Amino acid sequence: MKILEEEDSKMFQNKRLVLTALFALVGAIILVACQPQVVTETVEVTRVVTETVVEEGQTVEVTRVVTETEEVVVEVTAEPEMAPVSKDLVVCMAQEPATLYPFGGSMLAQSAVMHAIWTDQYTTLSYAYQPVGVAKLPSLADGDAVVNIVEVNAGDTVLGADGEPVTLEEGVEVTNADGETVAFDGTPIMMEQMVVDFEIVARNWSDGEPVTSADYLYTYNVIADPDTPTSKFTVDRTAAYEATGDLSVRWTGIPGFKDATYFANAIPGGQQTFPEHAWSQYTAAELLEAEDVSRTPMGDGAFVVEEWVAGDSIRLVPNTNYYRASEGLPYLSSVTYKFIPDTNQMVAQLLSGQCDIGTQDGMDVGQSPFLIEAQNNGLLTPYFQTGTVYEHIDFGINSYGDYGDGVGRPDWFEDVRVRQAMTMCTDRQSMVDNILYGKSEVIHTYIPSVHPLYPDGLTEWPYDVEQANALLDEVGYVDSDGDGIREDSATGTPFKVTLGTTSGNEMRQQLTQIFKENMLQCGIDVELYYLPASEWFADGPDGPLFGRRFDLGEFAWLTGVEPSCNLYISSEITGPPEEGFGGWGAANDAGWSNADFDAVCNSALGSLPGTAEYEDNHKEAQRIFSQEVPVIPLFLRLKVAAARTNVVNFSVDPTQNSELYNIYELDLQ
């Protein structure tokens, strides 16, 4: 830990020298610009003078006022000339997109540019969805989404009871309309089927041609093509996708598929619409390589590509046929994306005004002190936003095979009081303060406190060493020999466990060191070990984490709009399917099983957003999870970006991946 701190100190000193020099340079420029200037001016000067004159033979003194013109040297402060505000935005990113074709890659830098070229169907701001390319998000309440009861017969494609699409034949198990799992015996079965209608916002392609439902159908067919490298999850669960008008489409799911995000299926499996009249000349495979698709794609967004200088920049100019042009959008005259892989150089160019925005792919939490210093000097506005990635430490509650659970070691974690005590012994706020500069937050379940489904009555375990030790005493793990480490009362085995995580990750090395020190306060000895990610995350039975052959394991999961209770249900426990487990590719590495949690989580997963069943069950699942603590939720990772102070309408959102989702309304003052 000391070595890490020394390295961090040296790194921060070097960065501070760079930024201090830049601060001094910027300050000097401002000082010179504001210095008084000595100039010579011709002015009229009024004086009161006394003269001796002769009047009527007598010499007398006369006082009078005279005005004279003379040159004088005066000191004036020159008022700086106000230059017109440039509307040319420069966005600095760490990476150059490999392509601008939506299915040619998945880089964050690619998304940042695509937001300018295309109109997305929806955004995902603040753990919710908002319509953009469609007039509204359909809902069960409004009637533009319905669940019908339909009859299914042999040969129909339906969703099997295991959640996979299947052709109905004898012996296949499905969930019927009453929610019962039944085996098909040739007799027709009644099942639920979703039908959702979408209205398309009227708009044009950049060449002036209108966007129509035909373009939506064309896009869907490209997505469904085997040569298009994208997930076919929704496509495989689509019974029909059809136009119902020039600006309307309808999606119908296969029987049994109740899609929790049905309102996002305006283009099943996609966000951007493709121009049929321009791209239908290509096969799905050719679209991946065609230069006019990958380098200068035709879109329906606010901007078009003017120039792409490989290795340097991409320049966009406004789309003259943009459907919101009458509103004065976009506000900018141009957008240039510059590629600057070096973080220090990016910060330097932000400070010097060569960049207006520095995106999250080129910034990191280690820059926080310098960004805050720049903000205090009025040079930049930093953005620190919690994202959708959270770190956590998992307990090896039920290990696999001959590892732990009374075989290789005492069954330390089966008693919930031990898990509760270790959670209270963990100073999570210290991790946030020391690793993330206090800019993140401690997390108490698998979604953050700002999520709309975060429940009242959730157990939020405090940092309380005294109470933690009292709980461990209650369990019977006491330090009988006075060496500072507790022992198992039954065997006398010292409470010594291991904590593993990935190697080469500075943040994880820091948090595991803090955890190790915390546990000593509660009489628990933790040995740390670090493995390459390829080994740590390998599927079982070989991988230690998902092979359930660990004491404590630290890693990250994703959260999002829908709470991920499915990660912790019993059917997701990793292990051989033939032994009743979820397979080695499953998610529940802790081996935790709770029937009450399973029931409410499965009910939530089987219901639809907007219903009481969906909301109530997701909330109750978290209450159970927070009380049982199968894992110690730690904190949310940060998205870090920065902008010049004259950039308007820029923001970073927790659930919208790219911060340039609203490029059409960014402005410069």
Q: Round to whole Å and give the CA distance between 544 and 179.
A: 37
Mean pLDDT over all residues of the chain? 91
Please indicate whether residue 100 or residue 67 has the higher confidence score (pLDDT): 100
Amino acid at residue number 129? Y
Q: Is there a domain that residue 82 lies in?
A: no
Position 438: which residue type? Answer: G
If you count them, how many residues does the chain have?
669
Residues 374 and 393 grouped into a single domain: no
**Percent of all residues in the chain with a pLDDT value above 90, rounded to a whole number:** 85
Q: Is the pLDDT of residue 35 over 70?
A: no
Placement of tokens 């949310």 in the chain: 636
Residue 295 covered by a domain: no
Q: Which of 246, 279, 312 lies at the terminal end of a domain, its last residue?
A: 279
Give, for 142, the enclosing helix (H) or strand (E): none
> Given pLDDT bands bounded at 50, 70 and 90, which one contains residue 128?
very high
Same domain, 126 and 171: yes
Structural tokens at position 325: 């042009």
Q: 372 and 439, same structural domain?
A: no
353 part of a folded domain: yes
Tokens of 427: 């100073």
Of 357, 319, 341, 327, the residue nearest 112 (C-alpha): 357
Residue 589: count of CB within 10 angstroms of its CB? 31
Amino acid 31: pLDDT: 42
- Taking phi over 0 as left and psi of -120 to 50 as alpha, with beta for the rest, 378 belongs to left
CA distance 275 to 216: 9
pLDDT digits (tens, 9 = 90+) for 133-150: 999 999 999 999 999 999
Q: Is the pLDDT of residue 615 over 80?
A: yes
The CATH number covering residue 452 comes to 3.10.105.10
Query: Over the stretch 327-366, which tens digit does the pLDDT of each residue have?
Result: 999 999 999 999 999 999 999 999 999 999 999 999 999 9
What is the percent of the chain where pLDDT is above 70? 87
Contacts of 35 (CB under 8 A, 6+ apart): none
Cβ-contact 326, 317 below 8 angstroms? no
Same domain membership, residue 598 and residue 468: yes
Handedness of CA 101, 103, 105, 110 (dihedral sign): positive
Radius of gyration in angstroms for the set of CA atoms belonging to the chain, rounded to a whole number: 33
| Domain match, 314 and 413 both | no
Burial class (CB in 10 A: 0-12, 13-18, 19+), 539: middle
- Per-residue pLDDT reduced to its tens digit, 547-601: 999 999 999 999 999 999 999 999 999 999 999 999 999 999 999 999 999 999 9
Query: Can you tell me the distance from the alpha carbon of 387 to that of 635, in angstroms, rounded to the nearest whole number?
Result: 10
Residues 398 and 504 in one domain: yes
Give the other-Cβ count within 10 Å of 72's Cβ: 9
Supply the CATH number for residue 361's domain. 3.40.190.10
Note the pLDDT of residue 82. Answer: 56
Asked whether residue 458 is domain-assigned, the answer is: yes
Of the two residues 62 and 89, the one the predictor is more confident about is: 89
Q: Are residues 633 and 655 in the same domain?
A: no
Same domain, yes or no: 535 and 651: no
Beta strands in 17-101 (DSSP E): 37-55, 58-76, 88-93
Single out the residue of 332, 330, 377 nearest to residue 642, CA to CA: 377
> Residue 8: its pLDDT value, please?
38
Residue 12: burial class (beta carbons within 10 Å; 0-12, 13-18, 19+): middle
Q: Has residue 83 been placed in a domain?
A: no
CB 383 within 8 A of CB 643: yes
Same domain, 484 and 625: yes
pTM: 0.85
pLDDT at 663: 98
What value, to the nearest 5°, has the Cα angle with vertex 420 and ends 419 and 421? 90
Point out the least confidently predicted range of 27-41, 225-239, 252-266, 554-568: 27-41
Please give the average per-residue pLDDT across 82-105, as a whole number.
91
| Spatial CA neighbour of 488 closest among 502, 471, 470, 475 | 475
Residues 537 and 574 grouped into a single domain: yes
Distance CA(129)–CA(561), nearest Å, equals 8
Residue 406 confidence (pLDDT): 72
Q: Are residues 546 and 465 in the same domain?
A: yes
Confidence of residue 326 (pLDDT cuts 50, 70, 90): very high
Token digits of residue 575: 């292990």
- Would residue 352 count as lying in a domain? yes
Q: How many Cα atoms sit within 13 Å of 268 on the Cβ side?
A: 29
**pLDDT value, residue 402:** 87
**Which domain, by its residues, includes 65?**
2-26+40-76
For residue 275, being part of any structural domain is answered with yes
Same domain? 586 vs 504: yes
Amino acid symbol at 661:
Y
**CATH assignment at residue 142:** 3.90.76.10
Residue 405 pLDDT? 76
Non-local CB neighbours of 189 within 8 Å, separated by 6+ positions: 151, 152, 168, 174, 176, 182
Inside any domain, residue 290: no
pLDDT higher for 106 or 553?
Answer: 553
For residue 9, what pLDDT is reported? 38
Q: What is the mean pLDDT of residues 62-69?
A: 47
DSSP 478: B
Q: Is the pLDDT of residue 665 over 50?
A: yes
User: Per the structure, how many domains does the chain have?
Assistant: 4
H helices of 325-367, in order, are 343-352
Q: Which residues contact 207 (CB under 8 A, 6 or more apart)?
A: 275, 278, 298, 321
Structure tokens at 206: 């950049």
For 394-446, what is each residue's pLDDT tens digit? 999 999 998 977 777 899 999 999 999 999 999 999 999 999 999 999 999 99
End position of a domain, from candidates 231, 248, 279: 279
158 beta partners: 166
